[in-house]
Chains A and B, each alone.
Chain A
Amino acid sequence: MSEVFYQSITQLAAELEAKKLSAVELMQAVIARTKAVEPRVRAFNSFDESDALAQAAASDTRRAAGQSRGPLDGIPVALKDVIAVKDQPLTASSRILANFVSPYDATVTTRLRDAGAVLWGRCNCDEFAMGSSTENSGFHVTGNPWDVTRVPGGSSGGSAAALAAGEAIATLGSDTGGSVRQPAALCGVVGMKPTYGLVSRYGLIAYASSLDQIGPFGRTVEDTATVLRAIAGHDERDSTSYRATILDYRAELAAHKGPWRLGIPKEYFGEGLDPEIGAAVEQAIAFYKSQGCEIREVSLPHTRYCLDTYYIIATAEASSNLARYDGVRYGHRSKQAKDGVDLSYQSRAEGFGAEVKRRIILGTYVLSSGYYDAYYLRAQKVRTLIRRDFLEAYKDVDALITPTSPVPAFKIGEKSDPLAMYLCDIYTIGVNLAGLPGISVPCGFTKSGLPIGVQLIGQPFQEACLLAIAHAYDRAHDWNTRHPIL
């Protein structure tokens, strides 16, 4: 059996329930592991040991009184630093929020508390979740646990790295264009983006509101299902929250038995795909075929327009969402301002990093008078076409199977050109534009020992089926029993 900090929620919940392990012992083990590896991984922006240990002690008290709240009670879960936790720092890895302390809990935070989870550290990310490598953090760069000279992916790189390094048992991230699935692939863990509207965005720092969705990272698909069940559900404080039926996704894994019909979008296997990743994904496809699944090629003809559509819509929404950081009510305030209006110009100039400024400029431009129709409105129309492609494909298949990322973890500092970085999201952004659920599952390693992920894309609000398909692969393979040497 592996070390306690590398066990799954399922394993740990059984040990906690049998009183072979206490939540405090588990938290202490995670804290010790964090202190041992954090100087190299740097997954966290902050963590609060005494607060976590107090939560763990409360969990033990509940369990001793026969009032356990279920499989997450006493499990340390770390949150991306864009999700509000009352009285804890909330920075979005931005200098502009360096000293911000959240006055309230996000809905997902409340729901994790209700499930008994121990809320652990604040995970590093690209500033305001804008990036694919976590290098855009205003504070520090996170190392990939499999090779700390490489990036963990992004923007939820800290969440993926913390889990892969044994610094948490599960984590949450947010996914606007692939920001949960891509770092999951690069760090060798499971990461899921639910259907848009399934999980409340209340208390999530907004990047692009029509695309953002909070999603769980887990060691196994089963663990991911356990966390999703806890956080999903309608919330009247998020007006885009959907009244979907929430199931016990972990229990549902057994209820959905294949064989399934899986589609291979031919546009996702072309130029730019690393051959080792292509081969590993082919192996995963072969597995499903061996299980009796029907595999058929499908076409998503507007795939080549996804990247451009995404960068227009996401930056437009970002430029609007980030207008609130003006140095007036909260966040960094410049001391150089000449007057009340200059206060905004200077506070924003001092507080935001380069990628955030670039996206604000692009977003402002595509929304500006004279360009709105040509860029923003046109992109929204192309978004309709992209979404139709997926819905058309789903007439013949239950889910799609693709690579998650075209490349494995790259070196820190390797991609200095913004456009080259944007291409990292080529297989994940269509899912956000269409609002679909997607999951990345570990499916092998490159010859140099870097993790590879396969992406499964499901039908809207069919998380139970998608998780069952992913679980069929995950439980038949042991990729998640391998851990980085740190």
Chain B
Amino acid sequence: MSQPTDLNIDHVAKLARLALTPEEKATFAQQLGDVLHHIEQLAKLDVTNVEPSAHAFAVENVWADDVPRPGLPVELALKNAPAQRDHMIVVPKVVE
């Protein structure tokens, strides 16, 4: 079963801005412990001088012509906003 790992679930959940219940923390810690234990085998592989692949077929320097084009109208762009006023999204107060 799961080996102890240094997965600090409180710290990681904070980085991910995700509120977890105590039950979720316990379950995920155990399940991800199993997954991380499985992943350990990658450490055995020699990857000296191997270039990392971010994409299978990397296309580089993709530029678009610097010409303005119509985008989504404001009404349409805000159609799914949870709260809005005067073409702006309303959020709870963030500064005191």
Contact = CB atoms under 8 A, between A and B. Distances in A.
Interface of A: 99-101, 103-104, 195-197, 210, 236, 239-242, 302, 304-305, 307-309, 311-312, 319, 323, 326-333, 337, 339-341, 343-346, 348-349, 352, 354, 357-358, 360-362, 364-365, 368, 374-375, 377-385, 387, 417-419, 422, 433-436, 460
Contacts, number: 167
Interface string B1-41: 00000010101110111111000100110011011101101
B87 interface: no
Given A339-B92, A380-B54, A419-B35, A197 B59 contact: yes
Contacts of A387: 53, 56
A422 B38 CA distance: 11
A384 B53 contact: yes
Contact of B55 (A210, A326, A362, A365): A210
Interface in B39-90: 39, 41-43, 45, 47, 50-57, 59, 62, 64, 72, 76-77, 79-83, 89
B82 A103 contact: no
Contacts of A378: 42-43, 45, 47
Interface of B: 7, 9, 11-13, 15-20, 24, 27-28, 31-32, 34-36, 38-39, 41-43, 45, 47, 50-57, 59, 62, 64, 72, 76-77, 79-83, 89, 91-94
Contacts of B32: 358, 361-362, 365
Contacts of A362: 32, 35-36
A386 to B, nearest CB: 9
A101 B91 contact: no
B92 to A, nearest CB: 5
Contacts of B93: 339-340
19 contacts: A101-B79, A104-B72, A104-B76, A242-B59, A308-B42, A311-B39, A319-B16, A323-B16, A329-B89, A339-B94, A340-B93, A343-B92, A365-B32, A382-B42, A383-B52, A385-B50, A387-B53, A419-B35, A435-B57
Given A346-B19, A357-B18, A103 B79 contact: yes
A239 B51 CA distance: 22
B94 A368 contact: no
Contact of B82 (A319, A327, A344, A385): A327
A375 B55 contact: no
Contacts of A309: 42
A341 B2 CA distance: 34
A103 B43 contact: no
A242 B57 contact: yes
Contacts of A364: 12, 15-16
A352 B16 CA distance: 12
Given A240-B55, A349-B18, A340 B92 contact: yes
A375 B41 CA distance: 11
A329 B81 contact: yes
Nearest to B34: A419
A334 B13 CA distance: 17
Contacts of B59: 197, 239-242
Contact of A333 (B18, B72, B83): B83
A341 B94 contact: yes
B82 A333 contact: yes
A99 B53 CA distance: 37
B19 A380 contact: no
A302 B50 CA distance: 14
Contacts of B55: 196, 210, 240, 435
Contact of A365 (B12, B41, B51, B53): B12
A378 B89 CA distance: 41
Contacts of A210: 54-56
A327 B92 CA distance: 11
Contact of A344 (B17, B50, B83): B17
B47 A381 contact: yes
A349 B20 contact: yes
Nearest to B35: A419
A361 B16 contact: yes
Given A236-B64, A344-B17, A357 B91 contact: no
Scoring A323, A345, A352, A377 by chain B CB atoms within 10 A of each residue's CB, the highest score goes to: A345
Contacts of B51: 381, 384
Contact of B19 (A348, A368, A384, A418): A348
Contacts of B12: 361, 364-365, 368
Given A103-B79, A242-B59, A344-B17, A305 B42 contact: yes
A331 B89 CA distance: 13
A241 B64 CA distance: 13
B5 to A, nearest CB: 9
Contacts of A360: 16, 18
Contacts of B17: 323, 326, 341, 344-345, 348
A435 B9 contact: no
A349 B56 contact: no
B56 A434 contact: yes
Nearest to B62: A239
A460 B50 CA distance: 21
Given A103-B79, A104-B72, A357 B28 contact: yes
